[in-house]
Structure formats: structure tokens, C-alpha cells
Structure 1
Amino acid sequence: MNHRYTAALLVLVTVFSGVPAPVAAADQTAQCSFPMTVTDATGTDVTISEDPERVVTTNPSAAQTMWEIGARDQVVGVSQYASYLDGASEKANVSGSNGLNVEAVIGLEPDVVLVPNTTYTAEPDRVEQLRSAGVTVVVFESGDSLDAVADKVERIGRLTGNCEAGIERADEMRTSIENMERALEGVDHPVGLNVFFGYAAGGDTFISDVMTSAGLRNGAAEANFTGFGQLNEELVVEMNPEYIIVPSHAPIPSGPGFESTTAIQEDNVVVVDANNLQQPAPRAIDASETIMKAVHPDAYERYQELQNRSATTTTADSTTATATTADEPETTTATTAPEQTTESSAPGFSPIVAVVALVLTAFLRRRR
């Protein structure tokens, strides 16, 4: 199958998922030590016995997340679609001619395998084969927003022994989301439409949130178009998007319906790096920034100012924390954390728990 069409189908398969929704959020203590037990998106309780040293990612979004939290050295296997990542060519390829190569994964002797929803829904039998072989596998639920992506980043950091880095990167994403909202206050949102190979992202998708966070209204969502699905030109004419968002690996849409739209007539087509736009991973924020810069240049400038202020504040806080630590006594008694915590919901730390977890981590395990 043509590479670009396969990549598009990887996005589409997320919607038609048979994976159960995670259990409702409950108050619980998130931990950053091992062993830990989590309940994944399939409802399976998964125990990770030790701080993982060998991680396999079966989808480019999981690989991108490991790269973004500075944990690429732990990754021993990636899918073929993660080849765009710097250094990915040095990792084993766990993709086969017909999907996930189970034998290749087992041969890498991973401590944990990270399986995003797209892989599981396409190949649930192969995931079960891995589990039957004694491989530790964690399946992730589909995210329908940038906030959900940030939560997943935090969770992957915790599951792979990179708790602090996961929290830091997730918080950077959340700060960016907040700064976009502030920069766009009082700004009109024109109608936008994401199109790739005749399909579009409707409501309840993270791509829709990428667009709306950047200052667009998702015309497909407003037309009661949910998930990812095929467009017809009548619907395109009816919604008349002012902007069309296209991933870089897809052609600009054509045909009478599209040619009649304000977007095409005014050349308002925004091409976004497909690896940012179509993967629920940290660089999805970059996709929102690309769209905002094209659609709302003035708001984008305000956003950059807010980002710079946030970065300055973070640096100042870090400097203050370092100075405070230097003044503390050298000997500190650590409180022992519970050996195991069961997670029964989507990832997420409360601010207090996050602080406690970071302190405990410094004493209880090797920092990455």
C-alpha cells in the first residue's frame, strides 16, 4: 500500500475503536517508583516490575513522546513511521509487511511495550500474542484533545521511569494551550476544515482541538461530523470553510465543491507538518502554532510574548528553587512511598501530588 495512504489510515482507525473507555477518574496517589501497576485502555491490569531500560514503541506518536521527554536512549524498537525522528534509524524496526512484527518485538526483550490505540485497534490479536509471550504491554486510550495528549505524555514519563521529564514536558504543553487561549481572547474564529485524502477530522478528535486552539471553528464538527470520515462535496459547499488545513503528505483538495470555497478562492490553505498535525504527541502544539500564525498573525505575536514570559518565569522559579536547595541541610530523611499503586483512569497529577512525587523520586530511584 502507498506510504501516504497507510499513514492516513493509521489516523482513521483510531476512531472506529473497540477499546473500552478508561474507568472514571478517581482520587489516587500517582507514584513514580517501581513496581507499579496500571490499568490500561483494554481494562488489563499491567505490572511494571522495575524501572524500564528497554522500551518498544509500536506507533510514531509513542516514539515522538519518548524523544520529547529525552528518553530516546531507552527506546530499542520503533515502527517504520517513526523514521522521521532523529536517530530512529539506529533503532530496530518492529513493523512487518502486514503490521506489527510480533517476533521482532519479542526478540528485543523489552521491559515494556507502549501501544497507542491505533496499533491495538488494527491488530488486537498481535497485542495478545505479546502478552501471551510474557511481554509487558500497556495500551493507551485515544485522546480527543491537546489536554488529553499532555496527560498521555505525563503518563508515559511515569511508566518509563522519566517522571520528572514527563511532567515538565506535559506542563509546557498545558502552558502553551493556556497562552493560545489568552492570545485569542476577543478574536473572531473563522471556519476551518482539515482535509486529507478525501477525509476530514470532525468533532471529538484531537486534530479538531488543534484547530480550535489555533483560533478556528471546525466546520466539520459544526456540521455534526464526528470522528474521522469521508467528505462529500455537498457538505464542503454547505460549510464553505474560510481556511483549509492540509497535512504535508496530502495533496491540496480539488474539485468543484472545494473550488467554490472561500478558502481556495482566497488561497487560504495552510499546510502543516503531518508528523505534528496527525500524531497525538507533544509536537501537536507546533501544529496549532503553525495554524495560528497563518490565520491570526497578530494573536500569534501576542502568543509568542506570553510564551517568552512563561519561559522567563520558569527559569526564575528554577533558579530560586536551586538556591533554596543549596541552603538546606545536607541530610534529609525521605518518606518511603507505597510499593504499588493501581491506576484506573486516564493519567494526570494534581498539583500537590506532582510536587510530592517529584520529591520522593529524587530519593527513591535513579533519576534519568
Structure 2
Amino acid sequence: MKRILGALALALGLALPAAAELRLTDDRGVGVTLPRSPRRIVSLLPSLTETVCELGECARLVGVDRYSNFPAAVQALPQVGGGEDPNIEAVVALRPDVVLMATSSGGAPRLEALGLKVLALEPRTAAEVQRVAETLGRLLEVRDAQRLWRDIDAGVAAAARSLPAAARGARVYFEVGPGPYAAGPGSFIGEILQRLGARNIVAPELGPFPLVNPEFVVRTDPDLILIGLRDAPGLAQRPGWANLRALREKRICLFDDAQSDVLLRPGPRMAEAARLLAACMAAKAGG
């Protein structure tokens, strides 16, 4: 059909309309202009990788970071380092139309200096997850990208409804990584916990993912501790932690690496994260 239209336009001396440019603004406030929707994409952030795939455009990915492992199809793609240490030469060799990466990554200036388009997006809150999904929907020219957020929101709401009343109101501490770093109430994790009826021991003014003093956790004495399995060894050896009620009463939720991926990625699997947290709270906080 395109050939027929082209031949007809040529015969009539008409010019076919040029494809409209895509103009987007990323989370750095940088304007990114593309001549058309990208066909070759490198993603250097797992949550962005998952969002592209959930929007039905996984086939456009030609390379990912070493941590992007979901859905399974992306595991067969070339890995080009991490978000913080991308292999610039490997990225360039893939000839991407655009590179998706976190705003916190230091690789953007080098990639842009080599002539590559970079769209830096890094959601930390639920509202930002929604906005990033919309931005990627425009980038990929996906109709009704809002469907993704509606599905996430409905899944979180369903997880909240599943919780028994006895599991609500628990004071929780969610450790996201060594440091220790915690999920504050302003983070997407903290927002899910709030919707599930939990009370975060971290103050909002400390930020989404603050570095906390272990003594602070001792003073606040949470009802429930949520932590990744790989970071859990030695909890009782932390100063004062052996006396925490959560440790004494075994009110600790341990998450393996696959579950931690779900919980720590602000993207399409947030409803699954809510179900994991609800199951933990029902078993431990409501016990």
C-alpha cells in the first residue's frame, strides 16, 4: 500500500507528509528530539526495560544493562554493563536510536558526546512511575499507555483489600540495601506500604531512600522488619538489634533475589510487589 501511495503521489507531483518528530523532555529537564519513534533501543535501567516490554515493545530492545532480567526474553539480549558503568563502546556498537537510562547515571554526557540520543528517566514515587509510563508510551507511540498504570493501581488496591484487619497498622522498617538504606514513606515502596495500612518508622522529611542510623531502628523498635535475604545475615549482631521485638518474635519478612527485584523496581510489577508485602504482613504482622 505504501508503494502504491508513493507512486501515486509521485505521479501527481505531490509530496508525502513527513513523519512528525518526537519531542520529549526527560527527568533531567533535557529536551530530546527524535525524527521518528525509535526502532532500536538500549535500556540501562531494569524498571525501564520492564516498562518497555509491558507496553508490548520488547522487540525494539537491542541491548540492556546487566541487571535487566525480566521478562525472560531480555536475558538473550547483549548486556552492556550497568547503569552506573555502561560499556560505552558496546552501546555505540548496537547503533541505538535512543538510550534509556537513570538520571543518576554518569554515562549520559559521554553517550551524547558521541551523538547518541539519551532519555533519562528515574521514577521514585508512584506518580513518577505513572508519568514515566506515559512518556515511554509517547516514545513508542503506544495507544492507551495509561492502561499500564490503571492495571498497577487496581492490583495494589486488590492487595490492600485482601489484608485482614489484624494485619493493618503495623509499624514497619523496610531495608532496601546495605548502609543501611531504608524505604521512606515518600518512595514508591513506602506508598505501597501505606496503602496496605502499614506505618513507616522512617520520617517523610528524610527522603525516599535515606541512609539511616542503625540506632534509629533500635529506638523506634518496629513491629515488622522487611529485608532482602542476602542482607539479613548478622541482623542480631548489629548493636542493640538483638533486643528488637521484631527479631525476638520472628516478625521478619525475608525476600529472595527474585522477590527483591519485584519489590525494588518502580514499574509494571508494583502490583505483584503489593501482593508480596500483603502476604508478609498477613503472616507476620497479623500473627
Fold shared by both chains (TM-score > 0.5): yes
> Match for residue 184 of structure 2?
202
Deviation larger for 129-138 or 237-246: 129-138
Gaps of 5+ in 1: 1-32, 301-368
Give me the identity figure in percent. Answer: 26
Q: Aligned residue for 2:137?
A: 157
Match in the other structure for 1:291: 277
1:133 to 91, 105, 114: 114
Give yes or no for contact 1:157–1:163 (8 Å, CA) kept in 2. Answer: yes
1:60–1:79: 8 Å Cα contact kept in structure 2? Answer: yes
Alpha-carbon contact 2:66-2:79 (below 8 Å) kept? yes
How far is the alpha carbon of 1:114 from its aligned partner?
Answer: 1.2
The letter for the 2-side match of 1:148 is E
Residue 243 of structure 2 corresponds to which residue in structure 1?
A: 260
Please give the alpha-carbon distance, in whole angstroms, between the structure 2 residues aligned to 1:61 and 1:137: 16
Q: Do 1:215 and 1:295's aligned partners in 2 also have CA atoms closer than 8 Å?
A: no
Which of 179, 185, 191 is the matching residue for 2:171? 191
Quick one: which of 199, 205, 226 aligns to 1:217?
199
The aligned residue for residue 155 of structure 2 is 176
CA distance in 2, matches of 1:53, 1:97: 21
Match of 1:65?
Answer: 51
The CA deviation at 1:141 is 4.2
Counterpart contact for 1:190–1:243, Cα < 8 Å:
yes
Deviations 1:176-209 (A, max 9, x none): 2344555669774210001232321224322212
Q: Is the contact between residue 115 and residue 139 of structure 1 (CA under 8 Å) also seen in structure 2?
A: yes
Helix, strand or coil at the partner of 1:138: strand
Residue of structure 2 in register with 1:277 after alignment? 263
Quote the residue 1:250 is aligned against.
Answer: 231
Query: How much has 1:131 moved relative to structure 2?
Result: 1.7
Matches within 5 A, 1:12-27: none
Task: Quote the Cα distance in structure 2 between the aligned partners of 1:77 and 1:249.
Answer: 28
Alignment length (residue pairs): 258
Q: Kindly tell me: are residues 249 and 60 of structure 1, through their superposed partners in 2, closer, same or farther at Cα, counting changes over 3 Å?
A: farther
Instruction: Tell me the CA shift for residue 56 of structure 1.
Output: 0.8
- Counterparts of 1:350-365 in structure 2, within 5 Å, are none
Instruction: Pick closer, same or farther for the CA change 1:201–1:105 going to 2, 3 Å.
Output: same
SS at match of 1:194: strand
Cα 1:151/1:39, change in 2 over 3 Å: closer
1:107 to 83, 93, 98: 93
TM-score, with structure 1 as normaliser: 0.63
Once residues 90 and 254 of structure 2 are traced to their aligned partners in structure 1, the CA distance between those partners, rounded to angstroms, is 36
Whether the aligned pair in 2 keeps the contact of 1:214 and 1:289 (CA below 8 Å) is no
- Of structures 1 and 2, the one with the larger relative CO (CA 8 A, separation 6+) is 1
Cα 1:97–1:76 shift into 2, 3 Å: closer
State yes or no: 1:40 paired with 2:26. Answer: yes
Cα distance in 2 between the residues matched to 1:266 and 1:97: 39
Residues 261-298 of structure 1, C-alpha deviations (whole Å, 9 max, x = no match): 2222221212231111111111122112111122137x
- For structure 2, the residue ranges without an aligned partner over 5 or more in a row are 1-18
Q: Superposition pairs for residues 317-356 of structure 1, below 5 Å?
A: none
